[in-house]
Chain A
Amino acid sequence: MSPARADRIGLLVVPGLAYLGLIYALPLLLLLLKSFRDATGAFSVEEFVLIFGDPLQRSIMARTLRVAFLVTLLALLIAWPTAVVMRRAKGGWLTLFLVAMILPMSLGVVVKAFAWSILFRTNGFINQALMGIGLTDAPIRLLFTETALVIGAANVFLPFMVLPIYAVLQQQDPNLPDAAATLGAGPFYRFFKVVLPLALPGVVAGCAFVFSMAVSMYVIPSLIIGERQQTVAMQIARSFLFLRNEQLGSSLSTILLLVAVSVVLLSSWLAARLGARS
């Protein structure tokens, strides 16, 4: 291919770039700029100082990070065995698993979150089941608790954890654990020295996906936990829509963005490091 032709093919990227630049990068940039200005429009970090000085904001940020961490952890604990089973499944079973993973993604997150809120109600299915098997006499408060939020969100984000882990497990030579076993490695040694290290890139990718989605989720906490225990994303929406405090909203957005970007950068650095070894 001549260089001139290669250049012209390169032009194909222009519409995509223009689209992203205009409707995504530009507004984001304006938002970022706004967060570093005070009411008069001069450069200032005053809003950030205010936010970090406010115990309420600090507790909201702490809750957001805690929930995101727990959601990621729970999703990982459920996703690993699921991915292992999928790795061994064949034919129709595998298709069933993949459909079960992918189909719910086509369902709006509002629908799923609302479904969870029905399950978590005082007279909902979970409480009825708990009382039915005699674990509790009176209904437990589930809806509007952090526990419910973590369980619900982990469920919604589960496919984003399962699929990357399944992908790396699937690429793993099935003889490796056998080879380790014949060399004298017991089940734990095999898991921690062979299976897990080789699956780490997938685990890192899954955690990055789920954490960055969980830290910025808005619809799920709105429906499951409500206004009483806010997250940063809910706080951002409130600032813009109800408080009309664009300064607060854009500064919180900047903080959230920084968290998400550092998670992505950290995970791609980790993945590259792990990848370089193998």
Chain B
Amino acid sequence: MLDAGPASTPDERYLDVVAVRKSFKGVTVMDGMNFRMARGELVSLLGPSGCGKTTLLRIIAGLMPADEGSVILAGSNISALPPHRRNISVVFQNYALFPHLTVAENVAFGLRARGMSKADAVQPVREALALVRMQDFADRGIAGLSGGQQQRVAVARALVVRPDLLLLDEPFSALDRKLRETMQIELKSLLRDRGITGIFVTHDQEEAMGVSDRIAVMNAGRIEQFADPSTLYASPATPFVMDFVGLSTRLSGRVTGHDGALSVVQTPFGTLRAPGHRPPGAPVMIGVRPELIRLEGGAEMNRVDLVLEDVAVLGSKTMLQGRPADGARLLCELAGIRNGKARGDAVSFHWAVEDTLIYDAPDGAAA
């Protein structure tokens, strides 16, 4: 339940991960990680495998010790507490339901482990199962349940103990696509209604955008950007975030000068302009989202001429793909499917200068 009072500082810093370091066999995987979230927030840790998101989750849960740094939850330092004293529930990727127990016994496990009598546990277990619409399966074994049903039981088991924090490790990855989308919507509203503070770990950007208020994009043990989904998509802070969240086109170039508040960038297929001043001569990377590209536009827009290499009809939209001289791939997303374009057509891609993303070229990727 959310506290009714003013948004006090402890609520803003409900979970505070401070300067956490972790290395495995001499290899540092996390070097001074800081991570903070508010009470009642749903946050995703998004990143490719090996980025440290699961390590961070296990450190928060107490399943793995940090080499240095601290984890503070609701104002108390829990760094030294073992997992069973933290009151942090985890929904595991494979759900980790107890195969020797029934559905109801699985859900009752946390209550019984905390010393609640069998009789006292009956009512909360029934409520938790009703919450995930699994009340009819209470006396069934685990083996016969479908993936979606198992996930519901795992969520009920995690919530029945009223955790201070709920961690979900790739909770949807074992489900097929259709079911995944349904379960995402269902779970999000369930957690939201109950004011649960939750962290999703995922490598799926659509999932992260669908279920969370804010997303921490992680790469190589660091948080590259921590923002709400629309900020993340519209203004990615780094080329990695731009690449990882949504589709994008990336072009290499070099700054040749300035035009008012804009930088002029020479690329192998023409001169482009982008917001902000970059030092002349600097190697940069230009990015643009496919849905911001038009086939017509004025002289004030950025423009690249190319030949269409592929036209893919994707139902509600069409994806045009062209490859100009240097081999970079340009994607243009058009609404609808009737645009009369075909493979081999010569077209011009236009987009607004202010929609152009510009970054210092990553090491080794200079033009």
A182 in contact with B63 given A173-B94, A189-B113 (CB within 8 Å): yes
CB of A178 within 8 Å of the partner chain: yes
CA distance A103 to B350 in the complex (A): 73
Known: A176-B96, A176-B98. A184 touches B63 (CB 8 A): no
Contact present for B96 and A173 (CB under 8 Å): yes
Residues of B within 8 A of A (CB): 61-63, 82-84, 86-90, 92, 94, 96-100, 109-110, 113-114, 141, 143, 157-158, 161, 167
Which 3 A-B pairs have CB atoms at the shortest separation, nearest pair first? A183-B110, A185-B113, A179-B96
Q: How far is the CB of A194 from chain B (nearest CB, A)?
A: 6
Question: What does the 1/0 interface line of A182-199 toward B look like (CB < 8 Å)?
Answer: 111110010001100110
A277 at the interface (CB under 8 A from B): yes
**A-side contacts of B61, CB under 8 Å:** 182
Can you spell out 12 A-B residue pairs with CB atoms less than 8 angstroms apart? A175-B94, A176-B96, A178-B96, A179-B90, A180-B98, A181-B82, A182-B61, A182-B88, A182-B90, A183-B157, A184-B114, A278-B100
Q: Which residues of A contact B109 (CB under 8 A)?
A: 180, 183, 185, 193
Q: Which residues of A, 256-278, contact B by the 8 Å Cβ criterion? A: 274, 277-278
A-chain residues with CB within 8 Å of residue B161 when the two chains form the complex = 183-184
Q: How far is the CB of A193 from chain B (nearest CB, A)?
A: 7
Q: A173-B94, A181-B83, A183-B157 are in contact. List 10 more A-B contacts (CB 8 A).
A: A173-B99, A175-B96, A179-B97, A180-B113, A182-B61, A182-B89, A182-B158, A183-B84, A183-B110, A278-B143
| CB of B292, distance to nearest CB on chain A (Å) | 43
What are the residues of chain B within 8 A of A178 when measuring CB–CB? 63, 83, 90, 92, 96
Contacts of A173 in B (CB 8 A): 94, 96, 99
Give chain A residues whose Cβ lies under 8 Å from the Cβ of B110: 183-185
Q: How distant is the Cα of A189 from the Cα of B83 in the complex, in angstroms?
A: 13
Smallest CB–CB gap between B72 and chain A, Å? 18
- Contact indicator B94/A183 (Cβ below 8 Å): no
B124 CB → nearest A CB, Å: 13
* Shortest Cβ distance from residue A153 to the other chain B in the assembled complex, whole angstroms: 32
Tell me the bound Cα distance from A251 to B90 in angstroms. Answer: 60
Complex CA distance for A194 and B100, rounded to whole angstroms = 8
**A181, closest chain B residue (CB):** B83
Chain B positions within 8 Å of A176 at CB level: 96, 98
Give the Cβ gap from B141 to chain A, nearest Cβ, in Å.
8
Please report the C-alpha to C-alpha distance between residue A197 and residue B167 in the assembled complex, in whole angstroms: 27
Contact between A197 and B100 (Cβ–Cβ < 8 Å)? Answer: yes
Least CB separation from B167: chain A residue: A182
Residues on B with C-beta less than 8 A from A194 are 98
Residues on A with C-beta less than 8 A from B96 are 173, 175-176, 178-179
Shortest beta-carbon distance, A185 to chain B, in Å?
Answer: 4
